[in-house]
Amino acid sequence: MRISQRRALVGQVTGADLREIEGTLDTGGIDPDTADKFVENVLGTYAMPYGVALNVQVNGRDYVVPMVVEEPSVVAAASNAAKMARAGGGFTAEWDPSVMIAQVQVQDVPDVHVAVRKILEHEREILALADDVLGGVTTRGGGARAVEARVLADDVVVAHLLIDCKEAMGANLVNTAAERVANRVAALAGGRVGLRILSNLCDKRCVRVRCRVPAEALATSDLPGGAVIDAIVQASRFAELDPYRAATHNKGIMNGIDAVVLATGNDWRAVEAGAHAYAARKGRYAPLSIWRRDGDYLVGTLELPLALGTVGGTLRVHRAARLSLALLNVKGSGELAAVAASVGLANNLAGLRALATDGVQRGHMAQHARSVALAAGAAGELVERVARMMVDARDIRLETAKQALASLVAFEMPIQQASSR
């Protein structure tokens, strides 16, 4: 399909206004004047490709999932693996309430154990102080929920204030609450206030997704589905045994998650920080997802903290982020996290399947060959043909592309002239 046809179709199936899709995506969603209100010393804006993952089904609902990403194959891989998962009923997901952690560090504490006891004894008072500054969220059913206190050293205590941020990511909300309660917490502990800020290891706000893929959906032209299951399980074990592999395994997951996070105007640095801290929570860096065989099925599970907002942050001002939420039509931040995590698991599946069977090399070579063909001057359908000739010859160079293009043009021209006569 051409871009204009895709936009019309996505408008049709999602109910989004076609003029809004066109107006937003032709400009990228923000102009330099708007960008100037986001950050400092603005010179302009920087565009990225905006695509949609297809075939994504989560808890029985179909989604057209916006992805903003510059890396070739990520959108295709998500769509392809989502189709495999779909053959087994799609993704199932569940998520925690939107509880974020505000940290208040207290230093120079004379007796840390007494400090912890006193902070906990005054939980209700601290929660009420926090709720005082959480206005909008408390009226929407959120607000401060609990206080925890931990000893970090002989003279250092940290109080955790747990806050339900509902549909917001919550960083600013939580920081405001931390500042509000800090003096009181320090006074209770008998120490001095240190930092007051959220933790990006928001492990009270996890999402868990699962898929169950039938063997036949995984088969390749060379390998039966059962062999692919075994290969993927072995690839999963490799990541479980080795942090060097786990880092790359998780990168494959974040390919999908970050693209959705970015498309929906959310803070991908916060998500990345939380994901990797969670991956190392047991003292050793580990994969966020695990793959196992269950009879003739491959079962994948993924769990990670995911603080996403459907209100607040940049959403108010970024037109493309608002469009993404309109296309997704999610009810809230938990559902958004479930979709993002499902796409992450899909990208993970696609990556493992490619690595464990063909090797990703073939796919990457094809993509690289297309770029070289374009650079050699190929256009239209000749791009694909020149690229395929180079892949088949296992020789992907500009010179080879030029020769292939010249031979195709020389061969085709007389045929075209003959047929037009």
- Indicate which residues carry an active-site annotation: 71, 251, 267, 364
- Separation CA 282–CA 246 (nearest Å): 14
Residue keyed to tokens 């996890």: 206
- Separation CA 317–CA 167 (nearest Å): 17
**Residue 94: partners with Cβ closer than 8 Å, 6 or more residues away:** 207, 208, 338
CB of 340 to ligand NAD, least distance (A): 16
Specify the DSSP element, H or E, that contains 163: strand 156-164
> End-to-end distance of the chain based on CA atoms, in angstroms?
31
Residue 203 and residue 278 in contact, taking contact as beta carbons nearer than 8 Å: yes
CB of 261 to ligand NAD, least distance (A): 11
Q: Looking at residues 312 to 331 of the shown chain, list those that interact with ligand NAD (rule: CB under 6 A).
A: 312-314
CB of 286 to ligand NAD, least distance (A): 23
Using CB under 6 A as the binding rule, whether residue 7 contacts ligand NAD is answered as no
Packing angle, helices 333-356 and 319-328, rounded to 10: 80
The only residue of 106, 109, 198, 239 in contact with ligand NAD, by rule CB under 6 A = 198
Cα 299 from chain centroid (whole Å): 20
**Residue 171: partners with Cβ closer than 8 Å, 6 or more residues away:** 100, 198, 267, 270, 307, 313
The only residue of 311, 326, 391, 408 in contact with ligand NAD, by rule CB under 6 A = 311
Structure tokens at 336: 């958004």
The only residue of 127, 173, 211, 356 in contact with ligand NAD, by rule CB under 6 A = 173
Pick between residue 38 and residue 244 the one whose CB is nearest to ligand NAD: 38
Phi, psi of 93 (to 5 degrees): -140, 150
Structure tokens at 200: 């990006």
Binding mask 129-168 for ligand NAD (x = CB under 6 A): -------xx--x-x----------------------xxxx
Pick between residue 76 and residue 197 the one whose CB is nearest to ligand NAD: 197
CB of 287 to ligand NAD, least distance (A): 24
Count of residues of this chain found to bind ligand NAD when the rule CB under 6 A is applied: 22
Q: Please give the DSSP secondary-structure letter assigned to residue 165.
A: -
Pick between residue 122 and residue 204 the one whose CB is nearest to ligand NAD: 204
**Residue 117: partners with Cβ closer than 8 Å, 6 or more residues away:** none
Pick between residue 268 and residue 297 the one whose CB is nearest to ligand NAD: 268
CB of 310 to ligand NAD, least distance (A): 8
Cα 121 from chain centroid (whole Å): 39
- Separation CA 287–CA 418 (nearest Å): 60
- Separation CA 61–CA 340 (nearest Å): 14
- The DSSP-derived string for 238-256 is HHHH-HHHHHHHHHHHHHH
Residue nearest to ligand NAD (CB): 136
Using CB under 6 A as the binding rule, whether residue 170 contacts ligand NAD is answered as yes
Amino acid identity of residue 329, one-letter, is N
CB of 134 to ligand NAD, least distance (A): 8
CB of 313 to ligand NAD, least distance (A): 3
Q: Looking at residues 258 to 297 of the shown chain, list those that interact with ligand NAD (rule: CB under 6 A).
A: 267, 270
Residue 325 and residue 317 in contact, taking contact as beta carbons nearer than 8 Å: no
Using CB under 6 A as the binding rule, whether residue 180 contacts ligand NAD is answered as no
Using CB under 6 A as the binding rule, whether residue 335 contacts ligand NAD is answered as no
Stretch that binds ligand NAD, among 15-23, 284-292, 305-313, 354-362 (CB under 6 A): 305-313
CB of 385 to ligand NAD, least distance (A): 46
Using CB under 6 A as the binding rule, whether residue 334 contacts ligand NAD is answered as no
Pick between residue 168 and residue 320 the one whose CB is nearest to ligand NAD: 168
- Separation CA 200–CA 169 (nearest Å): 11
- Separation CA 66–CA 70 (nearest Å): 13
Residue 8 and residue 288 in contact, taking contact as beta carbons nearer than 8 Å: no
Pick between residue 140 and residue 208 the one whose CB is nearest to ligand NAD: 140
Stretch that binds ligand NAD, among 10-18, 50-58, 307-315, 373-381 (CB under 6 A): 307-315
Binding mask 71-110 for ligand NAD (x = CB under 6 A): ----------------------------------------
Specify the DSSP element, H or E, that contains 310: none
Stretch that binds ligand NAD, among 67-75, 247-255, 309-317, 364-372 (CB under 6 A): 309-317
Which residues are near ligand NAD by CB under 6 A? 136-137, 140, 142, 165-173, 198, 200, 267, 270, 309, 311-314
